[in-house]
Amino acid sequence: GAVVSQHPSWVICKSGTSVKIECRSLDFQATTMFWYRQFPKQSLMLMATSNEGSKATYEQGVEKDKFLINHASLTLSTLTVTSAHPEDSSFYICSATSGGSGPLDEAFFGQGTRLTVV
Strand partners, 63: none
Return the SS3 of 31. coil
Q: How many residues bind another protein (CB under 8 A)?
A: 28
83 or 116: CB nearest another protein: 116
Q: How far apart are CA 7 and CA 90, in angstroms?
A: 15
Q: Mark 92-111 with x for binding to another protein (rule: CB under 8 A) and - for no binding.
A: -x-xxx-x--xxxxxx-x-x
Residue with smaller CB distance to another protein, 15 or 105: 105
Does 44 participate in binding another protein (rule CB under 8 A)? yes
User: If binding is defined by CB under 8 A, does position 28 make contact with another protein?
Assistant: no
My answer on whether omega of the bond before 8 falls inside 30° of 0, hence cis, is yes
Distance CA 51, CA 28 (A): 15
Provide the total of helices (H) and of strands (E) in the chain, helices listed first: 0, 11
Site for another protein contains 91 (CB under 8 A): yes
Query: Can you give the binding site for another protein, defined by CB under 8 A?
Result: 1, 32, 34, 36, 38, 41-46, 49, 91, 93, 95-97, 99, 102-107, 109, 111-112, 114
